[in-house]
Amino acid sequence: MLAFLCKRIFILIATLFLVSGVIFLVLRVIPGDPAQIILGIQATPETLQTLRHKLGLDLPLIVQYGNWLGGILRGDFGQSIQYDVPIASLILSRMQVTLPLAVLSIFFAVIFSIPLGVYAATRRNQVGDYGVMLFSQVGLAIPQFWAGILLILFFAVHLQWFAAGGFKSWGESPLLALKSLLLPALSLGLIRAAVLARLTRSCMLETLGEDYIRTARAKGLAERVVVYKHGFRNALIPVITILGLQMGELLAGAIIIENVFHLPGLGRLVFLAIGQRDLPVVQGVGLLIAFIIVVVNFLVDISYGAVDPRIRAGEEGA
């Protein structure tokens, strides 16, 4: 287990190093000089040069990269150009929106999709199954931002139960903060649920067709035990894998949903920062998202063991 962990951590660090290089280079290759964007289209060449020097953009690329990486190793992500505050504190405050949003939307995705998927699988080709498949088909077809707008129109404009967006900070009122994340998490979660329900259904069907299920039934076990103990646990593995992969998609989806609900989250931060060529912010957030995805995948790998004892046994044997 220790060797396994060491290997994973080494891969994690190597991945992040690689990602940092790619992010840094990509941002230098795309057209759009930060100094020009900050100073606008009327600025004179001398003014641009002065600002480039101030921002350290006139240094050789390798030196800029080294400075950035060195700073991160010391825990210093640098200063945001547009906001004029340390990036670490900026990211920290934005995480308080995006992370709960992601977790909440996964929660919604799971509580809707897995029961629905299992239900559909056990009632294959019956009305219930068709109903679930219809829901999932519709869910797949709806773009997230549109789902968000529909939820706003119904719950905020029509019923006036929720604000039409915005975020109350956790410090002000944890309850209101949670409430302001509910609709966005629902619009992210429901659409994830559509994908996951389909996946759960097909995995369940596949597992229920296995020989050991026939054996279990032949043993005379109750149908409930067959489905949940023997079928469900085995069907869960691909579902968890996809759920882990979706984490990355979720953080990307947050960019759109945060714009629709005007939440001050990471997605909006990076969206604005790209437009303003606030490069240190884009780099910092990019690296952080890569870090989150790598860590989540690491956790997914570990969770297989929890679900399926065979995987645990396999590792101990290795």
Going residue by residue from 195 to 214, which x/- string records binding to other proteins, judged by CB under 8 A?
--------------------
Among the listed residues 19, 65, 69, 93, the single contact to other proteins using CB under 8 A: 93
d(CA 257, CA 165): 10
Q: How far is the CB of 280 from other proteins (least distance, A)?
A: 13
Burial category of 267 from C-beta neighbours within 10 Å (exposed 0-12, middle 13-18, buried 19 and up): buried
**Considering beta carbons, is residue 117 or 148 the nearer one to other proteins?**
148
> CA-CA distance, 152 to 183, in Å (whole number)?
8
Name the residue nearer to other proteins (CB basis): 117 or 184: 184
In whole angstroms, give the CA distance from residue 154 to residue 16. 42
Q: Which of 109, 21, 137, 111 has the alpha carbon at shortest distance from 72?
A: 21
Q: Which stretch binds other proteins (CB under 8 A): 3-11, 34-42, 234-242, 309-317?
A: 34-42
Beta bridge partners of 86: 79
Cα distance between residue 269 and residue 142, in whole Å = 25
Residue closer to other proteins (CB basis): 35 or 195: 35
Q: Using CB under 8 A, which residues numbered 43 to 62 contact other proteins?
A: 43-44, 46-47, 50-51, 54
Per-residue binding string, other proteins, 158-187, x by CB under 8 A, is --x--xxxxx-x------------------
CB 111 within 8 A of CB 185: no
Q: Taking CB under 8 A as the rule, does residue 77 contact other proteins?
A: no
Count how many Cα atoms sit within 13 Å of the Cα of residue 7 in the half-sphere of its side chain.
5
d(CA 199, CA 260): 28
Binding to other proteins in span 103-142, by CB under 8 A: none
Residues 246 to 305: which contact other proteins by CB under 8 A? 259-262, 264-265, 268-269, 272, 275-278
Structure tokens at 46: 């001398």
User: Site residues (CB under 8 A) for other proteins?
Assistant: 30-33, 36-44, 46-47, 50-51, 54, 81-85, 90, 93-94, 145, 149, 152-153, 156-157, 160, 163-167, 169, 259-262, 264-265, 268-269, 272, 275-278
